[in-house]
Structure 1
């Protein structure tokens, strides 16, 4: 399905690199590696120390990239992310209370959900897209394939334990984008090859 206008930054390559680390220096290093490998969309998890500072630095240093904020569990976290300059917001759960903040800031909001009920409620509440998390724990592409006919109008972004072997099946199952983090290699050369292969596969499937 076509991507919502607010998510057009995912048009070229619908992959989001999740930046998570125990300290800010490691987070920056990981983000730099992801960008060198070819990712142009990253989300900084708010569970990482000094996440706001990391997001600001990435936005300043990589103008060609879209940098969002993730793991936003409260409206206060969302407010901080918006003030910091996050270009999109991601919650791990169906945080409907964040919708007015995102709408006022004209900031794309990807609300987390898992069950059909949560997915529908997130969309009805005003989410730009719905993050289906944790997707691999509940069947991966087969689960998404079962959801797709029921919610054809809802942009779904699976996340959680996704490896490179899962990417194409998830796209084919109807994902408009995919969030990847724990399975990403720290070796830039390896990661660059994987990103290039994914981009080619995405282009080939049209």
Structure 2
């Protein structure tokens, strides 16, 4: 999987974090069926490795299915064993190093210029600005791209449809979206409402 090419094409990463494993699985499948192919299942949800295993079995070997909130070396190994072919972290550390050694694409969490330099040196594929909403939102992305104009930034955290449009206009390669897209679907909520939100975000990110 060429993750950078996929990011540039889709411009949207869906983040699934649910309290109900069956509902989380249904959410992943609904997103894929709704034309949102870049999906991250957070390890901070309920039984996330099982969700990844089930989704991988249904989506096949080529689908981009990530594990998010990967914190440790063990997390990275377990996520890979479950079928994840993308590792997403909230920050830097052993999880990034382990995934890079495994040859997996890594969306590594960064916040400061120092983080950006360290993540790039560590071999991160793309840079997740997190939590983007806490540091000025789109204006912070604009400032960060001053010294790093060519790096692939993916703002995450509090990204609704309006913010997504702003980030993309200002040069983000893609956005990562959790609750504004997922809503309560991963907790057993309305999948039809999820489909409508997916269509809205796809329109914004197209």
Q: TM-score, normalised by structure 1?
A: 0.86
Quick one: distance in 2 between partners of 1:112 and 1:8? 19
Shift of 1:60: 1.4
Q: When the two structures are aligned, how many residues end up with a matched partner?
A: 199
| The 10-residue stretch of structure 1 (7-16 or 50-59) with the greater mean CA deviation from structure 2 | 7-16
Shift of 1:18: 0.5
- Tell me what 1:147 maps to: 144
RMSD, aligned CA: 2.1
Quick one: distance in 1 between partners of 2:68 and 2:58? 19
Match of 1:164 among 157, 161, 169: 161
Quick one: distance in 1 between partners of 2:199 and 2:27? 18
Contact between 1:67 and 1:87, CA under 8 Å: does it hold in 2? yes
Task: Tell me whether 1:39 sits opposite 2:36 in the alignment.
Answer: yes
Quick one: distance in 1 between partners of 2:75 and 2:55? 18
Q: CA deviation digits over 1:14-73, x for unaligned, max 9? A: 111101011212211322332333211110101122211110111111237411000011
Unaligned runs of 5+ residues in structure 1 are none
Match of 1:98 among 88, 95, 100: 95
Quick one: distance in 1 between partners of 2:191 and 2:63? 17
Unaligned runs of 5+ residues in structure 2 are none
Task: Tell me whether 1:77 sits opposite 2:85 in the alignment.
Answer: no
- Tell me what 2:52 maps to: 55
Listed as ranges, the matches of 1:125-204 within 5 Å are: 125-184=122-181, 185=183, 186=185, 187-203=190-206
Q: Which runs of 4+ in 1 moved over 3 A?
A: 185-203
Q: TM-score, normalised by structure 2?
A: 0.86
Match of 1:116 among 113, 117, 131: 113
Quick one: distance in 2 between partners of 1:127 and 1:86? 16
Shift of 1:202: 4.2
Listed as ranges, the matches of 1:23-34 within 5 Å are: 23-34=20-31
Contact between 1:42 and 1:65, CA under 8 Å: does it hold in 2? no
